[in-house]
Chain A
Amino acid sequence: MATQRKGGTLDKNNKYDRQLRLWGDHGQSSLETARVCLINASATGTEILKNLILPGIGSFTILDGNKVQGEDVGNNFFLMADSIGKSRAQVTTELLSELNEDVSGDFLEENVDDLLQKNPAFFTSFTTVIATQLPERTLLNLGKVLWSVNIPLLVCRCYGFIGYLRVVIKEHTIIESHPDNFHEDLRLDYPFKGLKDFCDSLNLEAMDKKDHSHTPWLVLLYKYLQVWEEQHGGKMPKNFKEKNAFKELIRQGVRKNEHGVPEDEENFDEAIKSVNSSLHSTAIPSEIKSLFEDPACLKLNSESKNFWIMVRALKEFTETDGNGFLPLRGSIPDMTADSERYIQLQTVYREQAELDSVAVAGHVHALLHNIGRDEPLNPHTVRDSQEGSISDSEIKTFCRNSAFLTVLRTRSLEEEYSAETANTEELGRHVMMEEEEDASDEGDDTVLYILLRAVDRFFTEYTRYPGYFNNTVEADIPKLKACLTKLIHDWGLTAGIKDDYIQEMCRYGASELHTVSAFMGGVAAQEVIKLVTGQFVPINNTFIYNGQRQTSTTIKL
């Protein structure tokens, strides 16, 4: 069911083809209804927006009170030499808008602090807010405003060869996390009726050679598990030794030719290969169990997010119809088989998944009734995530992904920045480590975060960044060191950081290198896409890029 997306002059199916293969038509729809706000159209800021406008974000608004300066044009692709002296918000909005005629762009030439004071509600009309180049105090104010209304904030900055990205969000729920690796949901340990019936209807001994060598390995495993369990008091092979013995049992089943030599039976090879990955016991993952105990799941009300209503329904399903299991995923991997039996087997899984999803839907509808959400709520008074009803296709997607549900709750900026609640344990570990190490060794990029904080403290104290002016580079080194020492002291830590790093920070002098901005522009834009599509898993909560070594780290601060 491909939605027709016509806009501008081009067919959107065609224009967005390469990305629709990643997040689907529904992901694209979410993207196209999102409204982002960029605070400060620095090089980093416009690079982020570029990577959101190209894939077709709904709209963007640039808030920037600055006039374009010579150095801005030197590192920002969306400014030109004749822009110097003009409104940075306006020029960048115009040039960015050229990237995609399906995206609407808007700007506001105003000082952020003033706006936060006068009209904080301005910020709450966006799906996501992105901030670059904000001083600490402004950032904390903005963070507070957005936190209270659960609007995600991304803070991004580039400093010399360092990239920094912080995601701040009270709660973000993900149904389609698209994991790279996962166990198939095959239920060989607890076969459902359809699977049993299908497998029991097949008789390996009675098959001709062709059917025998084209029986899907899933069926082979089922059959030989029965044999095994008969011999082992109903228990599955558990440890390495037993699994090897089980593999041998399967190997004995390979047909032999008239000379007693085993035939080439690829399905048996595949069955043996699949033993280790397919015989894991079916269980509810602990992450999902903890969602079941989450207050948001246990205490539903009329304002509850669809996600949590479905989690609650899932919980109820596992406690009743599901017999302690999640709904069946309903997909099987490809395997050597004749078309007919593969499709039959696939159908067996699909049909059970359908039954499970209908059962979950039953719970969802009962819950909606209980909280008085039978009718769609007035769309003008509630936000997107709280529509009244929940569609069957939504429930199906939810069930198919029920083992991979993810809830992201980051800490607030306030928690990170106040000395009492700062994650000093994490930070302390890195400072200590760094002290013992040689600078040329594999270092730790967390140190770069601490340095950025020190640089901010320097700015608070001197209203300029260390090394910003050529003639103060040397003089700023001890000053920055003093700031750093104070910072670490405030955290109640005692260790220090190598002087080399301090010197390097003064070399950078708050320079914003285009390629570092471009790198972070890609990273930050992708995190915004994750947030607005509700697909894939964003960082929790701070990403540090070390452009010198091309390494990175993610830390919870």
Chain B
Amino acid sequence: MIKLFTLKQQKKDGESGPDRGKRASAAQLRIQKDINELNLPKTCQVDFPDPDDLLNFKVVIAPDEEFYRGGRFVFSFKVGQGYPHDPPKVKCETMVYHPNIDLEGNVCLNILREDWKPVLTINSIVYGLQYLFLEPNPEDPLNKEAAEVLQTNRRLFEQNVAKSMRGGHIGNVYFDRCLK
């Protein structure tokens, strides 16, 4: 046991030199580690609009195979001070015709919500997102219309994806061009 108050007296002012400024938070230290160790597949790229702000950044995924090859999809990441206890908030900024991403940019990926664990990293999330483009899951959809097409008519789905990426209407929804 230590002698905490051996002096039992007033705390001395300014005894410890100048303030070092507020120290980096645990969330900040952790995200720095995550970012420094990003090890992304060549189809993914991370972009920091402000290199001093490691908590807000974009991830761009440009799949080179399957339905979405040739497309370019931008995701915004917002990491809060609750990280890594709480997952980052991830939104898709590119309008995409995808069973697991809705037209508002909400993404249905288990590790972003119900299955998030502090041991997971930004890298795990990027891999998860990439997987969504390789293996869209029509059984648990967010965009139900897209999921139904994928389930019933793969050809048509493929055509719809291609059309949406070129820029065009699917039904009455207009998709901006997002080809590389």
Tell me, yes or no, whether A binds B.
yes
Chain A residues near B (Cβ < 8 Å): 209-210, 213-214, 264
Complex CA distance for A7 and B151, rounded to whole angstroms: 59
Nearest CB in chain B to that of A264: its residue? B137
Q: Which residue of A lies closest to B135 (CB)?
A: A264
Binary flags per residue of B121-158, CB closer than 8 Å to A gives 1, else 0: 00000000000000001110000000000010000000
Write out the residue numbers on chain B whose beta carbons fall within 8 Å of the beta carbon of A214. Answer: 139
Shortest Cβ distance from B171 into chain A, in angstroms? 21
8 contacts between A and B (CB under 8 A): A209-B139, A209-B151, A210-B138, A210-B139, A210-B151, A213-B139, A214-B139, A264-B137
Residues of chain B contacted by A213 (CB below 8 angstroms): 139
C-alpha spacing A210/B139, complex, angstroms: 5
Q: Which A residues lie within 8 Å of B151 (CB)?
A: 209-210
Least CB distance from A220 to B in Å reads: 16
Once the chains are docked, how many angstroms separate the CA of A209 from the CA of B138? 10
CB distance from B134 to the nearest CB of A (A): 14
Distance (Å) between the CB of B132 and the closest chain A CB?
Answer: 13
Residue with the greatest number of chain A CB neighbours at <10 A, chosen from B137, B138, B139, B151: B139
Set of chain B residues within 8 Å of A264, measured between Cβ atoms? 137
Majority DSSP secondary structure for residues of B touching A: loop
A264 CA to B137 CA in the complex, in Å?
10
Residue of A with least CB distance to B137: A264
Question: Closest residue of chain B to A208, judged by CB?
Answer: B151
Q: How far is the CA of A389 from the CA of B139 in the complex (A)?
A: 52
- Please give the distance in Å from B102's CB to the nearest CB on chain A: 18
Complex A-B, nearest 4 residue pairs according to Cβ-Cβ distance, in ascending order: A210-B139, A213-B139, A209-B139, A210-B151
**CA gap between A129 and B127 in the complex, in Å:** 64
Residue of B nearest to A214 (CB): B139
Shortest distance from the beta carbon of B44 to any chain A beta carbon, whole Å:
22
Enumerate chain B residues within 8 angstroms of A209, measured Cβ to Cβ: 139, 151
Given contacts A209-B139, A209-B151, A210-B151, 5 further A-B contacts (CB under 8 A): A210-B138, A210-B139, A213-B139, A214-B139, A264-B137
A261 and B139 CA atoms in complex are apart in Å by 17
Shortest beta-carbon distance from B150 to chain A in Å = 11
Closest Cβ–Cβ distance, residue A339 to chain B (whole Å): 13
Bound CA span A214–B139, Å: 8
B139 to chain A minimum Cβ distance, whole angstroms, is 5
B23 → chain A, closest Cβ, in Å?
31
Q: How far is the CB of A317 from chain B (nearest CB, A)?
A: 40
> Inside 8 A of A210's CB, which chain B residues have their CB?
138-139, 151
Q: Which A-chain residue is minimally distant from B110 (CB atoms)?
A: A266
In the assembled complex, the Cα of A81 lies from the Cα of B151 at a distance in Å of 79
Q: Which residues of A contact B137 (CB under 8 A)?
A: 264
Query: Which of chain B's residues has its CB closest to A265's CB?
Result: B139
Q: Measured between alpha carbons, how far is A214 from B137 in the docked complex, in Å?
A: 13
A210 to B151, CA, bound (A): 9
Most buried by B among A209, A210, A214, A264: A210
User: Closest A-chain residue to B147, C-beta based?
Assistant: A210
Smallest CB separation, A341 vs chain B (Å): 14
Provide the bound-state CA to CA distance between A210 and B147, in Å.
Answer: 11
When chains A and B are docked, how far (Å) is the Cα of A214 from the Cα of B147? 15
User: What is the CA–CA distance of A209 and B137 in the complex, to the nearest angstrom?
Assistant: 11
Closest residue of chain B to A266, judged by CB? B140
CB-nearest residue of chain B to A336:
B140
Q: How far is the CA of A213 from the CA of B140 in the complex (A)?
A: 10
| Whole-angstrom distance between the Cβ of A352 and the nearest chain B Cβ | 30
Complex-state Cα separation, A357 to B144, whole angstroms: 41
Chain A's nearest CB lies how many Å from the CB of B105? 24
The answer for the CA separation of A210 and B10 in the assembled complex, in Å, is 70
A262 to B18, CA, bound (A): 62
Complex Cα gap A538–B146 (Å): 56
- State the CA gap A2–B32 with chains docked (Å): 51
Complex Cα distance, B139 from A213, in Å, reads 8
- How many angstroms between the C-alpha atoms of A214 and B141 in the bound complex? 12
What residues of chain A lie closer than 8 Å to B139, measured between beta carbons?
A: 209-210, 213-214
| A543 CA / B137 CA spacing, docked (Å) | 56
Nearest chain A CB to B136's CB is how many angstroms away?
A: 13
A213 to B138, CA, bound (A): 11
B49: min CB distance to chain A, Å? 36
- B168 → chain A, closest Cβ, in Å? 28
CA distance A214 to B151 in the complex (A): 15
Which residue on B lies nearest to A211, using beta carbons?
B139
B163 → chain A closest CB, angstroms: 25
Residue of A nearest to B138 (CB): A210
B52 to chain A, nearest CB (A): 40
CA distance A358 to B71 in the complex (A): 62
Chain A residues with CB under 8 Å of B138's CB are 210
Please, how many angstroms separate the alpha-carbon atoms of A264 and B100 in the complex?
15
Give the distance to chain A from B138, nearest Cβ to Cβ, in Å: 7
Q: List the A residue with the shortest CB-CB distance to B152.
A: A208
